[in-house]
A and B are shown apart, each in its own frame.
Chain A
Amino acid sequence: MKALITFLATWLVAAQLHADGFSLADANTSTIDRSKWQCKSCSLEGSAVSGDARLGIGAVDSDNDQIVNKFGSDDGGFAVLDARVNGRAGTGRYAFRADNLGTETGNADATYRAGGWGVDLGYAKLTTVESDTAVTPVSINGEVIGISDGYRPVDLEQERERVDLGLDYEFDLHSLELRAFADVYHETRQGDRSSSIGLDLRPANYAEPIDYTTTQYSGGVDIKGDRWASSVLWTTAVFDNDQRGLYAESGEAAKALAPENKSNLLLARANYSLGKTRIDVRLGREWLEQEENYITSLGVPNGITHYNGDVDVLKGGFKLGSRLSRRVKLAARYDYYDRENNSPVFEFDQRVIDGESGDPKENVRYDKTRHRVGLDSYWRLPLGIALDAGYLGEFIERSPASREDTDEHSVYLRARYSITPLHRLRGTARYSVRDGSDYRSLTADNNELRQYHLADRDRWQFEGAYIATPLDELNVELKLRYSDEDYDDTRIGLGEVEDYGYDLTANYRLHTDIDLTVFGGQQWVDRDQFGSEAILVREWSYETDDRYDYVGAGLRWDGLLADRLSLGADYVFSESDSETQVDPGEDYGDYYQWSHSTRLFAEYQWTETTSVRLDYRYERHRDFNFADVTDDAISGLTTLGVLGDRYNAQLLMVSVRYSM
């Protein structure tokens, strides 16, 4: 310990040697005379409000509601408000911002600050559609689920709506700056998502109802000194679900839906700067609770009504960093995370849907402790070379698990080289190796199986980039990357993952008013996986090849018609594809998605304060999954039909912008 203190003290003393900069705390104000500092020019007469607001009306033409994932609106007309407004009222200052407000996906926030007081009010709505082609014979009436004769379309759509309110007060106390704050946010999430359930001992894919509410309260205080700061934060988050479970028509409890839960977090953070050294520290404790009543008493020990889930999490860490000189910087990091599940353990009879009794089983409490340590160094060398090198160690203890301890060591070297100020190269190499305690399967798994997140692994990662400005008007950036994960001790399970690709972007200013951007890239991810019904012998393998391609361009042309007209166009094509080869066996079928996205706009400056804009968007989308089969394709399996979405959609909007 003495040696460690000596080292840290040396570090701290050394780091003060080059403490130069423009920090306000170091400002020499000994001769300042502020008696005449009135700022007469700071009044905003006649310009108390600034910004702009845009009001638009438009329509979407689409036969598939999934278009909301792109346009924020589905088929039909809409009106929309976009705004950025700042102003002053009395002694205070306000700001209002709105994006796409009025459609299925939009948001807005308003702020008012006066003196040390501040109030923030926010609103956001987000609609997402998983698929618009699902059909189902499954009917849900309240909490009762069953299978009816006919098929009907069902929406796999979710809508989140959030309101948040924040209040804060800033004030000085002696030489300290303080800020006290309180925030609350409330979010509802409703709709349906695809899931599955066992009915009459047969699986049925269905649209699972969602009726979630999340409310979060937080409050705390920030305290700042000249060279230090600290903060204490308390957060309580409560999750409610109005749909607690589903029952078969026979009355059996078919499925428990997400139970209500609650989290309380106390987090303290602090930092201290001494010269060119800074230390950041945090320490937090979180209590997680879950007391939802079980949806059935079948299989539950007598006298027990709910889980009484109780998990304590302790989290902490620090970073000590120093700019030892303008050429050398060093940092040391440590992070600690400990999850302790204190929930009770009981034996539960495992009963299937028809109420027949099964084997009793004890619930399992998972505990986890993680330590992370890191050392980073940064060296700026002559000739325009910068090197970063460092180490990261991650040590995890988990219980119970097939491998209770894993240790991962990573080293990296990153180099940056400026060939000239206009041509720069970057390269990064990383190597990590993971091993750990003896692997002992806790389940009836094949003893040769190695779960990929616990298995021995060697990983190499390389990244390179070339960033150039060959002409004043032209910027080019090319990035390459390759990584290889080798699970060299795995005979059964994931064997190897290769991930490689490139991204390219170029921007060319053809003229003062014309800007052209092109971009594109590809990524390949290849996985080898092995399995067996026997012990020791690899009997079969999967080879999965994922591919992603994208290409696009954008054009912006300003200054037309005597500086009154601006034109813009953007286009992106993207394609996701995955192929799985099975040996021995039949290769998997098509699994892809592609889309063409086009945006065009023209904006005409009608008057000094008013402009008119026309927006057009076109989307052509296809996705397919070979595993989506019609409902009658497989005996005993009820599906949601073929979920592949195929649509062409257009959006046309005209809007008027008023500048204040």
Chain B
Amino acid sequence: MDELIKLRATCVLKCLALTVLSVLSLSPAAAGDETEQLLLEKFRAGNYSSSGADTCLRCHDDAATAASFLQSVHGDTASPHGPMAKLQCETCHGPRGKHRGRNEPMIQFGASANVSPELQNSVCLSCHMQDADESWHLGTHDIEDLACADCHQVHAANDPIRDPVGQVTKCTSCHLEQRAAMNKRSHHPLAGAQAGSVMTCVSCHNPHGSLSEADLNSVSLNDNCVGCHAEFRGPVLWEHEPVVEDCSTCHEPHGSVNDALLAQRAPQLCQGCHASDGHVSRVLDNSSDAFVAGQSCLNCHSQVHGSNHPSGALLSQ
């Protein structure tokens, strides 16, 4: 039987491999437009300028732009790993070749981009995607064909997206549902929603991709949450199973019409999992009842995240 399973697995994997090769052979060769092809050919030819950045700055001499660039992280001539320590302007814009005005293009980014997002990003990724804590390749924003320059201003001394409010503004310009949730009854104190807050989308998510669900910074959702809510990290003597399972079992992290980011209010939330004989299995409909009013189930079972009291098995102490 084992041999049969191995044989079948082998056949399936070989078929998949053949499919991959077939897809490749059937896919049209990278067509690209003329500019892309020209720039790729220039890149392969590697005819770099004779004077480096001095060559470029002779024409691209707008004082404010140059000053801003030289104040930026990419213009830092002292950085041992920055573009100025490598091929200077041509690190990103490609070899000069015969470029002299409009006669021959250089690689451009952002609003004036002349190559696809994938090709633009291949420049940035040369240095940045070697960061081991990021996984851009085939991540959410890569699949969406986002270019790095769609979010970043790489020549600016202060890239707006590095500011807390600028960062949240940028993310929510596409993530409309999350922007809306910032005004719900309960929500996290994101920059912009609360003046002066340092919390941003990037406090939890890695927009450059990660190996975690929803591109979270931490390995798991709970790891992310206890980064700020360390009092719930535990372990404690009496654990509550859904807390160990996943914080999102009960909470909506982007905002909720209920207090405390709860997906449902108590007692309904609690009765979704508890129906033992007695008060828990009853219909609870009267706000003059201690099972509904005040903090509902939490009037007595206030330790829903776990208790370290020796007599805390019912999460009440």
Tell me, in angstroms, the Cα distance from A446 to B188 when the chains sit together: 36
Tell me, in angstroms, the Cα distance from A32 to B86 when the chains sit together: 12
Task: Determine the residue in chain A with the shortest Cβ distance to B136.
Answer: A278
The 3 lowest CB-CB distance pairs between A and B, nearest first, are: A100-B196, A28-B46, A585-B285
Tell me, in angstroms, the Cα distance from A655 to B37 when the chains sit together: 52
Residues of B within 8 A of A253 (CB): 309, 317
CB distance from A234 to the nearest CB of B (A): 14
- Interface flags for A423-454 (1: CB within 8 Å of B; 0: not) read 00000000000000000000111100101110
B113 part of interface (Cβ distance < 8 Å): no
Tell me, in angstroms, the Cα distance from A254 to B311 when the chains sit together: 10
> Contact at B294–A259, with CB atoms within 8 Å?
no
Task: Determine the residue in chain A with the shortest Cβ distance to B115.
Answer: A22
> Contact at A31–B47, with CB atoms within 8 Å?
yes
CB distance from B92 to the nearest CB of A (A): 8
> Contact at B211–A453, with CB atoms within 8 Å?
no
Which of B52, B234, B312 touches A290 (beta carbons < 8 Å)? Answer: B234
Which of A24, A280, A531 touches B86 (beta carbons < 8 Å)? Answer: A24
Beta-carbon contacts under 8 Å, B92-141 to A: 94-95, 107, 118-119, 122-123, 125-127, 129-133, 135, 137-138
Tell me, in angstroms, the Cα distance from A40 to B70 when the chains sit together: 12
> Contact at B257–A577, with CB atoms within 8 Å?
yes
Tell me, in angstroms, the Cα distance from A349 to B176 when the chains sit together: 52
CB distance from A118 to the nearest CB of B (A): 9
A205 part of interface (Cβ distance < 8 Å): yes
**A282-B211, A290-B235, A634-B290 known; A128 and B264 CB under 8 Å?**
no
Which of A34, A103, A639 touches B294 (beta carbons < 8 Å)? Answer: A639
> Contact at B78–A113, with CB atoms within 8 Å?
yes
CB distance from B172 to the nearest CB of A (A): 10
A sample of 11 more A-B contacts (CB under 8 A), given A107-B196, A196-B294, is A10-B17, A22-B126, A27-B46, A86-B158, A256-B308, A361-B313, A364-B239, A368-B245, A493-B272, A574-B180, A576-B184
**23 residue pairs from A and B, CB less than 8 Å apart:** A3-B9, A4-B9, A21-B122, A22-B39, A22-B119, A42-B75, A50-B157, A86-B158, A107-B198, A205-B295, A212-B231, A273-B129, A273-B137, A284-B219, A288-B233, A341-B239, A348-B237, A365-B239, A503-B180, A547-B257, A627-B296, A629-B287, A634-B294
CB distance from A639 to the nearest CB of B (A): 5
Tell me, in angstroms, the Cα distance from A329 to B260 when the chains sit together: 41
Task: Determine the residue in chain B with the shortest Cβ distance to A539.
Answer: B283
CB distance from A636 to the nearest CB of B (A): 7
**A50-B68, A363-B238, A503-B176 known; A7 and B13 CB under 8 Å?**
yes
Residues of B within 8 A of A21 (CB): 118-119, 122
Residues of B within 8 A of A107 (CB): 164, 196-198
Residues of B within 8 A of A280 (CB): 132, 135, 137, 211
Which of A295, A310, A376, A544 touches B268 (beta carbons < 8 Å)? Answer: A544
B2 part of interface (Cβ distance < 8 Å): no
B77 part of interface (Cβ distance < 8 Å): yes
Tell me, in angstroms, the Cα distance from A660 to B194 when the chains sit together: 28
| Most interface-central of B158, B198, B199 (chain A CB within 10 A) | B198
CB distance from A253 to the nearest CB of B (A): 7
> Contact at B158–A84, with CB atoms within 8 Å?
yes
B153 part of interface (Cβ distance < 8 Å): no
> Contact at A319–B135, with CB atoms within 8 Å?
yes
Task: Determine the residue in chain A with the shortest Cβ distance to B302.
Answer: A196
Residues of B within 8 A of A519 (CB): 176
> Contact at B211–A335, with CB atoms within 8 Å?
yes
Task: Determine the residue in chain B with the shortest Cβ distance to A31.
Answer: B46
Residues of B within 8 A of A628 (CB): 293-294
> Contact at B293–A443, with CB atoms within 8 Å?
no
Residues of A within 8 A of B47 (CB): 31
> Contact at A584–B283, with CB atoms within 8 Å?
yes
> Contact at A586–B286, with CB atoms within 8 Å?
yes
Which of B44, B180, B286 touches A28 (beta carbons < 8 Å)? Answer: B44
CB distance from A281 to the nearest CB of B (A): 8
> Contact at B30–A532, with CB atoms within 8 Å?
no
Which of A3, A224, A269, A529 touches B13 (beta carbons < 8 Å)? Answer: A3
Residues of A within 8 A of B290 (CB): 203, 634, 636-637
> Contact at B196–A317, with CB atoms within 8 Å?
no
> Contact at B71–A44, with CB atoms within 8 Å?
yes
Tell me, in angstroms, the Cα distance from A544 to B274 when the chains sit together: 18
**A307-B235, A335-B212, A546-B257 known; A329 and B135 CB under 8 Å?**
no
A540 part of interface (Cβ distance < 8 Å): yes
Task: Determine the residue in chain B with the shortest Cβ distance to A5.
Answer: B13
Residues of B within 8 A of A170 (CB): 79-81
Task: Determine the residue in chain B with the shortest Cβ distance to A282.
Answer: B211
A654 part of interface (Cβ distance < 8 Å): no
Tell me, in angstroms, the Cα distance from A310 to B32 when the chains sit together: 57
Task: Determine the residue in chain A with the shortest Cβ distance to B252.
Answer: A525
CB distance from B298 to the nearest CB of A (A): 6
> Contact at A451–B231, with CB atoms within 8 Å?
no
> Contact at B277–A533, with CB atoms within 8 Å?
yes
A371 part of interface (Cβ distance < 8 Å): no
> Contact at A378–B275, with CB atoms within 8 Å?
no
CB distance from B35 to the nearest CB of A (A): 13
A110 part of interface (Cβ distance < 8 Å): no
> Contact at A239–B189, with CB atoms within 8 Å?
no
Please tell me which stretch of A146-154, A225-233, A557-565, A604-612 contacts chain B, meaning at least 4 of its Cβ atoms lie within 8 angstroms of it: A225-233
> Contact at A531–B197, with CB atoms within 8 Å?
no
> Contact at B30–A22, with CB atoms within 8 Å?
no
Residues of A within 8 A of B220 (CB): 315, 337
Tell me, in angstroms, the Cα distance from A37 to B48 when the chains sit together: 11
CB distance from A479 to the nearest CB of B (A): 6
> Contact at B17–A99, with CB atoms within 8 Å?
no
- Interface flags for A68-97 (1: CB within 8 Å of B; 0: not) read 111111000000000010111001110101
> Contact at B10–A2, with CB atoms within 8 Å?
yes
> Contact at A339–B43, with CB atoms within 8 Å?
no
> Contact at A99–B180, with CB atoms within 8 Å?
no
> Contact at B311–A87, with CB atoms within 8 Å?
no
Residues of B within 8 A of A317 (CB): 211
A512 part of interface (Cβ distance < 8 Å): no
> Contact at A452–B272, with CB atoms within 8 Å?
yes
Tell me, in angstroms, the Cα distance from A629 to B237 when the chains sit together: 33
B16 part of interface (Cβ distance < 8 Å): yes
Which of B43, B72, B246 touches A22 (beta carbons < 8 Å)? Answer: B43
Residues of A within 8 A of B189 (CB): 69, 105, 126, 128
> Contact at A269–B132, with CB atoms within 8 Å?
yes
Beta-carbon contacts under 8 Å, A226-269 to B: 228-231, 237, 239, 241, 245, 253-256, 258-259, 261, 263, 267, 269
CB distance from A102 to the nearest CB of B (A): 9
Tell me, in angstroms, the Cα distance from A214 to B129 when the chains sit together: 32
> Contact at B198–A39, with CB atoms within 8 Å?
no
Which of A24, A34, A222, A401 touches B131 (beta carbons < 8 Å)? Answer: A222
Which of A3, A292, A309 touches B10 (beta carbons < 8 Å)? Answer: A3
A311 part of interface (Cβ distance < 8 Å): yes
Which of A38, A270, A318, A343 touches B235 (beta carbons < 8 Å)? Answer: A343
Task: Determine the residue in chain A with the shortest Cβ distance to B173.
Answer: A505
Residues of B within 8 A of A525 (CB): 257
A194 part of interface (Cβ distance < 8 Å): yes
Task: Determine the residue in chain A with the shortest Cβ distance to B138.
Answer: A321
Beta-carbon contacts under 8 Å, A102-125 to B: 103-107, 113-116, 124-125
Residues of A within 8 A of B309 (CB): 245, 253, 255-256, 294-296
> Contact at A634–B293, with CB atoms within 8 Å?
yes
| Most interface-central of B94, B271, B293 (chain A CB within 10 A) | B293
> Contact at B78–A445, with CB atoms within 8 Å?
no
- Interface flags for B15-56 (1: CB within 8 Å of A; 0: not) read 011001101100111111000000110011111101111100
> Contact at B143–A378, with CB atoms within 8 Å?
yes
B151 part of interface (Cβ distance < 8 Å): no
Residues of A within 8 A of B285 (CB): 582, 585-588
> Contact at B78–A71, with CB atoms within 8 Å?
no
